[in-house]
Amino acid sequence: MIHRLLYPATVQGKVLHFALIAYLSISIIGCTAPQPTVKPPTTIARAMETRTFSKDMKTVLKAAINALQDMDYTIDVLNSDVGLITASRTTEQIQAALSADNDEEKSTFGMILLPLIAIVAVVMILGMAFGGDDDDDGDTIDLGLGGGDKDSGPDGPRIYRYKVTVNLNDIDTNNTKVRVSASGEIEQDGKILSTGGIHELEFFQQFFANVNKALFLEDQGQ
């Protein structure tokens, strides 16, 4: 019974079988492919990335370090003289979506390319279904569903690598402006699937909330 379902002998059965495989394949591609976010205009991006704190730069610098560590980032570079921090994090859990550099062009290209790939896949599958000899009842098409040594595709976990850069500028002795930028890449089985910047409002809100928390704890002597 299971063999008949996996390897139908009739033309009608093959059509239904391949149609189901095509539907599942296209659905999986749509669900698992990294979906880039849209990069906002420069003015909006800077507004998301920038905050001013009513503290001296040394105090805010320390708070920014604590904020990054609270977000499980490792400090890679620290230059207190120029007010620069870079930090990184590697995880198997997605922390923020990535946006492509050439957003409009790549987004349009991706919207066109994915349906074309789906159409080509369906045409090829239907061609396989009808292209064989109908009189040969013993021929079946091996889709790899019955096992074997063939590689069915990437099976390792996705690795998310993020990098954050924090720049601090002292407006005066009691006010410090902080701008943070972030980027990342997605890797699976040693291959880079996607790279881009991070432009999610929630990501920056979390960072600045952690900075405020660190400043509060500093004021409390903790």
Q: Domains of the chain: which residue ranges?
A: 2-149+156-219
Lowest mean pLDDT across 41-45, 56-60, 151-155: 151-155
Whether the pLDDT of residue 105 is over 50: the answer is no
Whether the pLDDT of residue 160 is over 80: the answer is yes
Global confidence as pTM: 0.62
* Topology given in CATH for the domain delimited by 2-149+156-219: TATA-Binding Protein (3.30.310)
Task: Quickly state the pLDDT bin for 221 (edges 50, 70, 90).
Answer: confident
pLDDT of residue 196: 94
pLDDT of residue 37: 66
For 163-187, give one letter per residue: b (16+ CB within 10 A) or e. bbbbbbebeeeeebbbbbbbbbebb
Residue 189: count other Cβ atoms within 10 Å of its Cβ: 13
pLDDT of residue 103: 42
Residues in the chain: 222
